[in-house]
Structure 1
Amino acid sequence: MASDTTSSSTLGAGSASGSATSSTTAGTTAKRGDREELEAQIQKLREDVSGVAESLKSMAQNRSNSARTQATAMRDEYKAKGERYLQQAQEAADDLEDQISDRIRDEPIKSVLIAAAIGYLYARIFH
């Protein structure tokens, strides 16, 4: 009988040991599955972040191109306006020059006296 008890306790220990081994194996397998799932989620997250980064880059590039186009249009517009104003100023200066030339031809003595008076005042002020 003593040997029966010994063999049954040995069997019991063996079956408990077998149960612990299968529990450890199941735990390791569960950990591997969790880890693989986590790595898959991390990879998907990286892909999502990469996609968002590409979208942001594309949006920034589009806005940059739009701003460049607007700036070029404004530059061309103001350049044309500046050229028109310059042309108008040149025409006004030419008209004034023609008027002064006509007056000097009409009244040369008066023009010389006015020029002398302006020269005298200039000399008194700045000398």
Structure 2
Amino acid sequence: MTVPALTLPVAVLVATVLLDVAGQLFFKHGLNAATEGLPVWKRIVTSPFIGLGVATYALELVGWLFVLAHVPLSIAFPVASLAYCGVAIAGRFVLDEPVSAERWFGTAFITFGAFLVSLSA
């Protein structure tokens, strides 16, 4: 049984979207959980979650470079925009942040656009 050529690049593309969302969550949590009253730069350098976010982004970069080597940019980049949707969803359900109806509409619009792009793949 042969595996379609795009299976691995597509899986890595999905992973980069998830890593982008995770990195943003680590950054936000790191700044929220840091000692209040410290200057932002001290909160950044002392938070293990900020370091975890940077490491997550480094891993995402490696994956993204792999994706760019195997998937047309005109497909990869719109699919990567789904990270915006993931951040909105995670912000609402993981961080309990309010998300307005307009933002939900925009998130749905981005998702639909990425879907349309994927149809041409």
> Where on the TM-score scale, by shorter chain, does this alignment land: which range?
under 0.3
Higher-Rg member (1/2): 1
Instruction: State TM-score, norm by structure 2.
Output: 0.27
The higher-RCO structure (CA 8 Å, 6+ apart) is 2
Structure in which a larger fraction of residues adopt helix: 1
